[in-house]
Amino acid sequence: MSEKSVAKTVVVLGGGVLGVSTAWQLAKAGARVTLVTEAELCSGASGRSLSWLNSAGERSQPYHALRMAGIDRYRTLFARHPDLDWLRFDGALCWAADDEAGTKARHAYEKALGYDSHLVDQTTVSHVDPKVNATALASVAIANPGEGWVSLPHLVEHLVQELKAAGGEVIEHAGKASVIVTAGRAAGVRSEKRGEFIADRVLVACGPWTPEVVAPLGVHIANGSPVSMLVTSTVQDRGLKVVMNTPRAAIRPNPGNTLAVDHDWYEEDIVAHADGRYSIDEAVVSQLMVEAGRLVGDGSPLAAQSWKIGLKPVPGDGEPVVGELKNVPGCFVAFTHSGATLALILGELLTDEMLTGAKHPMLSTFRPERFS
Ligand SMILES: Cc1cc2nc3c(=O)[nH]c(=O)nc-3n(C[C@H](O)[C@H](O)[C@H](O)COP(=O)(O)OP(=O)(O)OC[C@H]3O[C@@H](n4cnc5c(N)ncnc54)[C@H](O)[C@@H]3O)c2cc1C
> Cα dihedral angle (262, 263, 264, 266), rounded to 10 degrees?
-70
**In the predicted structure, residue 63 carries a pLDDT above the cut 80:** yes
Taking residues 72-83, what's their average pLDDT?
Answer: 97
**Residue 196 belongs to some domain of the structure:** yes
DSSP string for 190-224: EETTTEEEE-SEEEE--GGGHHHHHGGGT----B-
Sign, CA torsion 111/113/114/116: negative
Residue 1's pLDDT is what? 38
Taking residues 134-144, what's their average pLDDT?
Answer: 95
CATH of the domain at 165: 3.50.50.60
Residue 372's pLDDT is what? 86
Name the residue with the closest Cα to ligand 1, atom 16.
339
The Cα 322–Cα 338 span in angstroms is: 13
Tell whether 133 and 205 lie within a shared domain: no
Tell whether 292 and 324 lie within a shared domain: no
Pocket test of ligand 1: the residue of 42, 50, 54 to mutate, having most ligand atoms within 8 Å of its CB, is 50
Tell whether 210 and 157 lie within a shared domain: yes
Residue 238's pLDDT is what? 87
Tell whether 117 and 193 lie within a shared domain: no
**Residue 118 belongs to some domain of the structure:** yes
The Cα 213–Cα 5 span in angstroms is: 30
- Domain span at 29: 3-47+153-224+316-371
Measured in angstroms, how far is the CA atom of residue 44 from the centroid of ligand 1? 5
Backbone dihedral angles phi then psi of residue 176, each to the nearest 5 degrees: -65, 140
Residue 176's pLDDT is what? 98
Confidence of residue 7 (pLDDT cuts 50, 70, 90): low
Q: Which of 261, 287, 311 is the last residue of a domain?
A: 311
The Cα 188–Cα 8 span in angstroms is: 12
Q: What is the average pLDDT score of the chain? A: 96
Instruction: Report yes or no: 279 and 270 within 8 Å, Cβ to Cβ.
Output: yes
Sign, CA torsion 93/97/100/105: negative
Sequence-distant (≥ 6) Cβ neighbours of residue 38 within 8 angstroms? 15, 173, 174, 175, 176, 177
Residue 2's pLDDT is what? 45
Name the residue with the closest Cα to ligand 1, atom 15.
338
Confidence of residue 99 (pLDDT cuts 50, 70, 90): confident
**In the predicted structure, residue 3 carries a pLDDT above the cut 70:** no
Tell whether 32 and 124 lie within a shared domain: no
Give the CA distances from residue 119 to residues 91, 106, 110, 112, 206, in Å, rounded to whole numbers and listed in that order.
Answer: 13, 10, 11, 14, 39
Q: Which of 311, 331, 354 is the last residue of a domain?
A: 311
**Residue 103 belongs to some domain of the structure:** yes
Residue 358's pLDDT is what? 96
Residue 11's pLDDT is what? 98
The Cα 77–Cα 360 span in angstroms is: 22
Q: Which of 267, 283, 311 is the last residue of a domain?
A: 311
Confidence of residue 6 (pLDDT cuts 50, 70, 90): low
The secondary structure of 90-137, three-state, reads CCEEECCCCCHHHHHHHHHHHHHCCCCCEEECCCCHHHCCCCECHHHC
Tell whether 304 and 231 lie within a shared domain: yes
Order across the sheet with 87-88: list the strands: 52-53, 148-150, 87-88
Tell whether 239 and 336 lie within a shared domain: no
**In the predicted structure, residue 5 carries a pLDDT above the cut 80:** no
Tell whether 133 and 191 lie within a shared domain: no
Tell whether 163 and 282 lie within a shared domain: no
Measured in angstroms, how far is the CA atom of residue 248 from the centroid of ligand 1? 23
**Residue 362 belongs to some domain of the structure:** yes
**Residue 67 belongs to some domain of the structure:** no
Domain count, the chain: 2
pLDDT digits (tens, 9 = 90+) for 202-247: 999 999 999 999 999 999 999 999 999 999 999 987 899 999 999 9
Tell whether 281 and 333 lie within a shared domain: no
Residues having CB closer than 6 A to ligand 1 are 13-19, 37-39, 43-46, 48-52, 152, 176-177, 205-207, 209, 213, 228, 230, 262, 312-313, 336-341
Residue of higher predicted confidence among 76 and 236: 76
Helix axes 17-28, 339-356, angle to 10 degrees: 40
The Cα 318–Cα 225 span in angstroms is: 9
CB atoms within 10 A of CB 113: 13
**In the predicted structure, residue 62 carries a pLDDT above the cut 80:** yes
Tell whether 166 and 218 lie within a shared domain: yes
Residue 98's pLDDT is what? 74
CATH of the domain at 100: 3.30.9.10
Instruction: Report yes or no: 207 and 197 within 8 Å, Cβ to Cβ.
Output: no
Residue of higher predicted confidence among 273 and 7: 273
**Residue 56 belongs to some domain of the structure:** no
**Residue 86 belongs to some domain of the structure:** no
Question: Could you tell me what percent of the chain has a pLDDT over 90?
Answer: 95
**Residue 230 belongs to some domain of the structure:** yes
Tell whether 135 and 234 lie within a shared domain: yes
Sequence-distant (≥ 6) Cβ neighbours of residue 161 within 8 angstroms? none
